[in-house]
Amino acid sequence: MTIKVLGYAAHSPTASLVPYRFERRDPRADDVTIAIIYCGVCHSDLHTTHNDWGNTQYPVVPGHEIIGRVTAVGAKVTRFKVGDTVGVGCLVDSCQDCEPCEHGLEQYCKGAVLTYSAIDPKDGRVTKGGYSQAVVVNEKFVLHIPNGLDLKGAAPLLCAGITTYSPLRHWGVKQGSNVAVTGLGGLGHMGLKLAKAMGAEVTLFTRSPGKEKDALRLGADTVVLSSKPDEMKAVAGTFDLIIDTVPYVHDLNPYIPTLKVDGTLVLVGYLGPLDNALNTAPLVLERKAVAGSLIGGLPETQEMLDFCGEHGITADVEVIRMDAINEAYVRMRKSDVKYRFVIDMASLKD
């Protein structure tokens, strides 16, 4: 039996999000059906809604920071039962057969199916995300939410949390590491909290004067205004790792000198060509690297949730009604959110 749901969708790159009725697929034997309680609002939702990456399938129902309760499980589901509190992030399927999948790196599988605006090869339908009442997901792509975590603050862990946790782990951040995060938004504030919890010395690079106090509260030891050359100079040769969350094209050259020998700047925000050519000299001369990183695989996402459960880490959120989403997009574009909007799905009524 298909499940009829109400959601919010955009029908073109320039259209506002509006109420939209659609059907979820018939749950399969290995599917979990989830009533959505909260859904975080990621800058990727905005990029996809506006077709910034040129591959949006309209109508698009965004949302990949999903927290909900299990309302039904298929006959073959073993890891979940009705009533469990669960999460769904950016992925809802993958081939399960390739090298990345074998290593729990489903995000790098060529057959990975994103939670929204992707064609599901199993039925040819376009996936629809968490700005909706319910979702049907293969149990392999459903996550356990640790007891005791505030659910609205836990929603952004499913994307902002794992996207910053994964590079921190991959590049071996530990007690005493020196880490910088560029941009204090949804991803950036999670980066500060997680790096601090891993024992790192943490710096925020921001273009916004006025964020210092919050940054220190969120885990930064130092705040550097990236527009001030003297402040940038003062941190030359400091960082083992920089996680750059800035969503739009920007010049990377001023950040490279702030890396130590062997340091790495990891891009997680902007996807595309750079306006300013990257000067390779400091990379060659000091074995520095510029790299990228995409969300995280399923095992690492569960590890991150458990880490957040142990350390009591959640996002700082502003809860909104579903019908406030268009205003939230405008505010997010202006960085006017502290530090993640989360939609209360109870506000979405027939």
What's the distance, CA 163 to chain centroid?
A: 5
Give me the least distance between CB of 46 and ligand NAP, in Å please. 8
> Can residue 247 be called a binding residue for ligand NAP (CB under 6 A)?
yes
- Contacted by 193, from ligand NAP, Zn ion, none: CB < 5 to 8 Å by type: none
Residue 257 neighbours by CB under 8 Å, 6+ apart: 232, 236, 237, 282
Under rule CB under 6 A, residue 109 binds ligand NAP: no
Cα 301 to Cα 85: distance, rounded to the nearest angstrom:
15
Q: Report CA-CA distances (Å) from 263 to 61, 230, 295, 321.
A: 39, 21, 21, 42
- As a whole number of angstroms, the distance between CA 317 and CA 313 comes to 12
User: At 239, which helix (H) or strand (E)?
Assistant: strand 239-244
Residue 344's SS3 state is: strand
Instruction: Tell me the pairing of strands 239-244 and 259-267.
Output: parallel
Please tell me whether residue 295 binds ligand NAP under the rule CB under 6 A. yes
Please, are residues 65 and 89 in contact by the beta-carbon 8 Å criterion?
Answer: yes
Quote the least distance from Cβ 294 to ligand NAP, whole Å.
4
Does residue 159 belong to the site contacting Zn ion (CB under 5 A)? yes
User: Does residue 268 belong to the site contacting ligand NAP (CB under 6 A)?
Assistant: yes
Q: Decide: is 335 part of the binding site for ligand NAP (CB under 6 A).
A: yes
Restricting to residues 73-112, name those near Zn ion by CB under 5 A: none
Question: According to CB under 5 A, which one of 33, 38, 44, 348 is a site residue for Zn ion?
Answer: 44
Is residue 158 involved in binding ligand NAP (CB under 6 A)?
A: no
Minimum Å gap between C-beta 50 and ligand NAP is 11
Among 5, 159, 179, 266, binds ligand NAP (CB under 6 A): 159
User: Among the candidate windows 70-78, 193-201, 292-300, 304-312, which touches ligand NAP by CB under 6 A?
Assistant: 292-300
Which tokens is 5 given? Answer: 């749901």
Computed from CA positions of residues 246, 247, 248, 252, in that sequence, does the dihedral angle turn out positive or negative?
A: positive
List the single partner that 223 binds among ligand NAP, Zn ion, none, CB under 5 to 8 Å by kind: none
Q: Is the bond into 247 cis (omega within 30 degrees of 0)?
A: no
Task: Provide the token pair at 328.
Answer: 């939230």
For the chain, give the number of residues: 350
- By CB under 6 A, the count of residues binding ligand NAP is 28
Residue 298 binds ligand NAP, judged by CB under 6 A: no
- Binders in 20-49 for ligand NAP, by CB under 6 A: 42-44, 47
Assess 66 for contact with Zn ion (CB under 5 A): no
The widest CA-to-CA distance across the chain, in whole angstroms, is 63
Cα angle value 269/257/229 (rounded, 5°): 85
Of 21, 122, 248, 321, the one binding ligand NAP by CB under 6 A = 248
185 binds, among ligand NAP, Zn ion, none (CB under 5 to 8 A by kind): ligand NAP
Positions that interact with ligand NAP (CB under 6 A):
42-44, 47, 159-160, 163, 183-188, 206-208, 211, 245-248, 268-269, 293-295, 332, 335
